[in-house]
Amino acid sequence: MNPGHKIILTVFFCFLMIVAAAAQPDNKFKLKSGAKGKLCLNCHTAFQDKMKSTYLHTPVKGGECSGCHNPHSSSHGKLLDADTDKICFKCHGALVAGKARSIHKIAGEGQCVLCHDPHGSNNKNNLLTAGNELCFTCHSELGERVKKAQFKHSPVERGCISCHNPHASEKSDFLLETGMPDLCVKCHKTDTPSFKSRHMNYPVANARCTTCHTPHGSNKSGLLHENVHMPVANKMCNQCHDEPTSPTPFRTKREGFELCRGCHNEMVGEAFTKNRLHWPLVSREGCLSCHTPHGSLQKGLLNRKVSEICGKCHADTIARHEKAAVKHNPVKEGNCTYCHSPHASDNFLLLKQPVIELCGTCHEWQKHTTHPIGEKYIDPRNKNLNVQCLSCHRSHGTDYKNMIYFDPVSVMCTQCHKDFTR
């Protein structure tokens, strides 16, 4: 056989091997013919019941256990061949688009097994639980609110995925299939006379519906938020906005706190008598830095929970006390306004009272220490400061008992009492 024929035969056999490999499933572990799946079930007999599930994961149905597991050894739990996110994303990578506007945290982290059974389930899509109950295992607070709501929203009753994508959304925040009001107008016709009259003839068809309505359910008629601003409740939109027939119907008659001052003059006036103002009050957004103008789930028309509002600007403080092993109870409860005034104060750090008096509202400090504190006693470490509660305790929390700065206590004491240093 001449060299030319040998080359042709070699190329031909290589081609046959490639075709054969492509025609057969991956068999990197060189299992015997027909051994896949069945071989595993020789030991994992209890898994036979799982195989009777209504819905089976495609690799399981095909007996491809080694598609996810290494049959010999692994550095991952349950002999997984890799991290769960890498395993799932090999086939399902398209579920979380690279340019997604919002991503479900557990989906983005590849924690798919928190929602799906990787082998089989009697629920569609191999979900661990059917319907909204699966979502409410994490979103329990929302789940309780939905169950107790007097007025139900029909899409929520049908299921969360009526409006939300469970993995990611390319078009909107909060995993919504599309943004508002486009999502809402799929069901709600905005061109009817009744719709217009209920909204005082304001052109709300292009507005964000959730500024007034809660989409999950409410105890207020019309799915209004639990706490409604009085002008909204009284259908007096023109108290704050231009008339609906004007060229600028949604423009407010004044900007910032000046608009709110019309009704809340006493509060605003009192704030301006204080030595220290909370800067958001006098910013361009004014009261809307922390409050919503129409309705809210939170008391005081706050636009989110107190700790979340404060965390927008004071993220470093929030992060620090979250790491603290010993937390101050108001901080632990996320109630910053227990000690701080959100608008203005005569005390540093916008405290509601001077430190000793403020701490004394909860702590009878006279009974647990004889250490002198007050204006008469100067802190040796800083001649500009008096000795008071914060000289030894951090108000938000520390890693040490009683929220002291150092451990053991002697380390803290000897900062001032140096003659006792050992």
User: Would you say residue 23 has pLDDT above 60?
Assistant: no
> With contact defined as beta carbons under 8 Å apart, do 388 and 373 qualify?
yes
Which pLDDT belongs to residue 19? 44
User: Would you say residue 268 has pLDDT above 50?
Assistant: yes
How crowded is residue 48: how many other Cβ atoms within 10 Å of its Cβ?
9
CA distance 297 to 141: 12
Write out the two tokens for 32: 């015997």
Classify 407 as helix, strand or coil: coil
CA distance 203 to 248: 10
> With contact defined as beta carbons under 8 Å apart, do 333 and 344 qualify?
no
Which pLDDT belongs to residue 20? 44
Write out the two tokens for 161: 């995925």
Write out the two tokens for 324: 């603290």
Q: Which run of H or of E encompasses 331?
A: helix 329-332
Which pLDDT belongs to residue 66? 83
Amino acid at site 153: H
Q: Which run of H or of E encompasses 377?
A: strand 374-378
> With contact defined as beta carbons under 8 Å apart, do 267 and 274 qualify?
no
Query: For the packed helices 315-323 and 306-313, what is the interaxial angle rounded to 10 degrees?
Result: 120
> With contact defined as beta carbons under 8 Å apart, do 173 and 101 qualify?
yes
Closest to 309 measured CA to CA, from 280, 276, 273: 280
Using the CB atoms, write b or e for 127-156: b if 16+ within 10 Å: beeeebebbbeeeeebbebbeebeeebebb
Kindly indicate the confidence band of residue 329, based on its pLDDT and cuts at 50, 70 and 90: very high
* Domain spans in the chain, listed from the N-terminal domain onward: 363-420
| CB-count burial class (<10 Å; 0-12, 13-18, 19+) for 296 | buried
Kindly state the average pLDDT of the residues 348-352: 95
Strands 295-296 and 227-228: antiparallel
Kindly indicate the confidence band of residue 420, based on its pLDDT and cuts at 50, 70 and 90: confident
CA distance 357 to 368: 15
Q: Which run of H or of E encompasses 199?
A: none
- DSSP bridge pairs for 213: 224
Residue 406 C-beta-side C-alpha neighbours within 13 Å: 9
Amino acid at site 137: T
Classify 267 as helix, strand or coil: helix
Residue 2 C-beta-side C-alpha neighbours within 13 Å: 1
Model pLDDT for residues 223-240, shown as the tens digit of each residue: 999 999 999 999 999 999
Write out the two tokens for 1: 């056989």
Average pLDDT value over all residues in the chain: 88
How crowded is residue 381: how many other Cβ atoms within 10 Å of its Cβ?
10
Specify the range with the lowest mean pLDDT, choosing from 183-197, 235-249, 368-382.
368-382
Tell whether omega for the bond before 380 is within 30 degrees of 0, i.e. cis: no
> With contact defined as beta carbons under 8 Å apart, do 331 and 310 qualify?
no
Kindly indicate the confidence band of residue 24, based on its pLDDT and cuts at 50, 70 and 90: very low
Kindly state the average pLDDT of the residues 19-41: 62
Which pLDDT belongs to residue 421? 82
CA distance 345 to 174: 36
At which residue do the structure tokens 């006693």 appear? 377
Model pLDDT for residues 274-293, shown as the tens digit of each residue: 999 999 999 999 999 999 99
Taking the C-alpha atoms of 84, 87, 93 and 95 in order, what is their torsion angle to the nearest 10 degrees? -50
> With contact defined as beta carbons under 8 Å apart, do 242 and 249 qualify?
yes
Kindly indicate the confidence band of residue 22, based on its pLDDT and cuts at 50, 70 and 90: very low
> With contact defined as beta carbons under 8 Å apart, do 43 and 18 qualify?
no
Q: 348 to each of 88, 257, 344, 400, how far by Cα in Å?
A: 53, 23, 10, 25
> With contact defined as beta carbons under 8 Å apart, do 392 and 403 qualify?
no
User: Would you say residue 311 has pLDDT above 90?
Assistant: yes
Tell whether omega for the bond before 354 is within 30 degrees of 0, i.e. cis: no
Sign of CA dihedral 69, 72, 76, 82: negative
Which pLDDT belongs to residue 46? 83
DSSP annotation of 343: S
Kindly state the average pLDDT of the residues 133-154: 94
